[in-house]
Structures are given as structure tokens and as C-alpha cells.
């Protein structure tokens, strides 16, 4: 079955330093037309970091669109399409937490909001995590780093205390495969 939608026209609605929003008219496989809003994003990297004591490194951060402080793994946008996502993951870990890692290993890639955006997330597992970061978070990021054990993660998941998709994926990976 052909599911391909073909762009007919595209109108830019908004542009800033890392997001571009378009309203497109597309031709559907059945011959009809439809409108699609598309948010273009440079991509992002996230990192599952586990200390030598087998505690996962998380941050609590206010997320304005959902009006809630979310518990998340360290993550952030790529600085342009040419930044290596592995480098971004290492940078975000060091900026958002007191920890660094010697290297990262790609776990998985996924689209965060494919219904309206093209953001591709690169999820990494940090290796040789150490509490020695000298970097600081961006001025507009106010973060509370914290560590959770496997049991604490299981409890947080069971009590619906983690609402962030990338973090749910990462923690399930940790509990199942690490």
C-alpha cells in the first residue's frame, strides 16, 4: 500500500535560531489534499548515565509548555546539523550535571513528535561516568541533578512520576539490558 504524502506547497510561518515552522499542502495517496504543520528541528542527543554505584543520573527541570517540573535524563539540541550527536550527549551530561563520561555508545534513535515535527533524538549510554564536570548549564536552564537507584526508578515508574518520553525509553533500557 502506498502511504506517501507529496508536498504541493509550503509556507513558512515562523523561523528562529533552531526551529522553523511551515504550513504545507500535501497530496494524499487517495488523491485528496490536506494541510500539514511541520516543525523543523536540528535534532537532539540524550544520555543515560549510570554511576559506579549503579545510580542513574537525572535532572529535574521546569518545562514551561506542560507547566510541570519533569524528571529527565540529560539532553539537549544539537548545535546545528553538523554537530556529532555523541559530542552533544557528552556536552549535555557535563553541562546539566556534575558528571562527565569518557565516551558514549549509541543505544537507539527515534523521532520525538513525528506527527508534526522532524526532531530526531539520539539516545546514548555513557561509559565511565565520573563526578568531575567543570561545565555549567545554560543561563536559561535551572536544573536539579539527582541520582536514583534501580529500586527508586521502579517506584517512580510505578507511581507515574516520570512523564518524559526519552527518559522512559532510557530507563526501561537500563532496567532490561544493563
Q: Are 7 and 50 in contact (CB under 8 A)?
A: no
Of 139, 141, 144, 152, the catalytic one is: 139
- Is 95 noted as a catalytic residue in this protein? no
Q: Are 124 and 46 in contact (CB under 8 A)?
A: yes
Q: Which residues of 154-171 are buried (b: 16+ CB within 10 A; e: fewer)?
A: eebeeeeebebebbebbb
Rounded to the nearest 10°, the torsion over CA 107, 137, 91, 14 is: 80
Cα–Cα distance measured from residue 130 to residue 109, given in angstroms and rounded to the nearest whole number: 25
> Which active-site residues does the annotation give?
139
Amino acid at each position: 500500500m502506498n502511504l506517501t504524502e507529496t508536498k504541493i506547497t509550503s509556507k513558512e510561518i515562523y523561523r528562529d535560531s533552531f526551529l522553523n515552522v511551515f504550513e504545507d499542502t500535501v497530496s494524499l495517496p487517495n488523491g485528496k489534499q490536506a494541510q500539514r504543520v511541520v516543525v523543523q528541528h536540528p535534532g537532539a542527543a540524550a544520555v543515560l548515565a549510570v554511576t559506579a554505584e549503579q545510580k542513574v543520573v537525572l535532572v529535574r527541570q521546569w518545562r514551561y509548555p506542560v507547566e510541570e517540573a519533569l524528571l529527565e535524563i540529560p539532553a539537549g539540541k544539537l548545535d546545528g546539523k553538523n554537530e556529532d550527536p555523541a559530542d552533544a550527549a557528552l556536552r549535555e551530561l557535563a553541562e546539566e550535571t556534575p558528571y562527565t563520561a569518557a565516551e558514549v555508545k549509541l543505544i537507539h534513535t527515534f523521532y520525538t513528535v513525528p506527527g508534526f515535527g522532524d526532531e530526531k533524538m539520539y539516545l546514548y549510554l555513557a561509559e565511565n561516568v565520573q563526578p568531575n564536570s567543570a561545565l555549567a548549564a545554560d543561563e536559561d536552564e535551572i536544573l536539579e541533578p539527582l541520582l536514583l537507584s534501580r529500586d527508586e526508578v521502579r517506584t517512580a515508574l510505578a507511581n507515574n512520576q516520570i512523564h518524559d518520553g526519552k527518559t522512559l525509553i532510557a530507563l526501561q533500557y537500563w532496567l532490561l539490558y544493563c
